[in-house]
Amino acid sequence: MKVSFKLNGRPVEVDVEPNEILLDTLRLKLGVTSVKRGCERGECGVCTVLLDGEPAYSCLLLTAQVEGREVVTVEGLRGDELAEKIARSLVEQGAVQCGFCTPGFILTIYAGLKKGLIKNVEDAKKLIEGNLCRCTGYLKILKAVEKLLA
Ligand code: FES
Ligand code: FES
């Protein structure tokens, strides 16, 4: 089946299997490698994308479900002032180690800040609870968000 949607501001049309997940379409057919494969069951957040501006796990979405919708990955936020500030703050606080989780964190924090959902570190803690990081211990990630709020 053919599915059409907007990816990082551009219209795309792809041939997919009815049971194909968005994670596979993005990585294997559209070359979007910032979206990572982790648990594949909605637990780790490394496959996060923004779907119509909301963080969503691409491992839990069928590609057919994004017909007519807008998908954004970190590739699409290149040059975006807020996204670049978030990335810089994560780097400055040492919150990027292996980097496998980083695109997912950037997208989740980006959506939260855009919507005014992060007023303090407690808000940030709640917001990022669906994104796992096996390297940093989270304190540096939260510090990076705190710096952004200062
Ligand atoms: S790979 Fe999607 S939540 Fe882990
Ligand atoms: S920096 Fe390695 S998983 Fe987060």
What's the 45 CA to ligand 2 centre distance in angstroms? 11
Residue ranges of domains in the chain, CATH in brackets: 2-76 (3.10.20.30), 79-149 (1.10.150.120)
Q: Is 38 in the pocket of ligand 1 (CB under 6 A)?
A: yes
Task: Provide the pLDDT for residue 141.
Answer: 97
- Which ligand has its closest atom nearest to the C-alpha of 138? 2
Which protein residue's CA is at the shortest distance from atom 3 of ligand 1?
A: 42
Q: Look up the pTM and report it.
A: 0.97
- Which ligand has its closest atom nearest to the C-alpha of 22? 1
Task: Provide the pLDDT for residue 3.
Answer: 98
Q: Quick one: pLDDT band at residue 11, thresholds 50, 70, 90?
A: very high
Average pLDDT of the chain, as a whole number: 97
Q: Quick one: pLDDT band at residue 20, thresholds 50, 70, 90?
A: very high
DSSP assigned state of 119: S
Q: Quick one: pLDDT band at residue 134, thresholds 50, 70, 90?
A: very high
| 65-74 average pLDDT score | 98
What's the 134 CA to ligand 2 centre distance in angstroms? 5
SS (H, E, C) 45-112: CCCEEEECCEEEECCCCEHHHHCCCEEECHHHHCCCHHHHHHHHHHHHCCCCCCCCCHHHHHHHHHHH
What's the 146 CA to ligand 2 centre distance in angstroms? 19
Summarize pLDDT for 36-59 with one digit per residue, the tens. Answer: 999 999 999 999 999 999 999 999
Summarize pLDDT for 84-124 with one digit per residue, the tens. Answer: 999 999 999 999 999 999 999 999 999 999 999 999 999 99
Which tokens is 89 given?
A: 């703050």
Task: Provide the pLDDT for residue 43.
Answer: 97
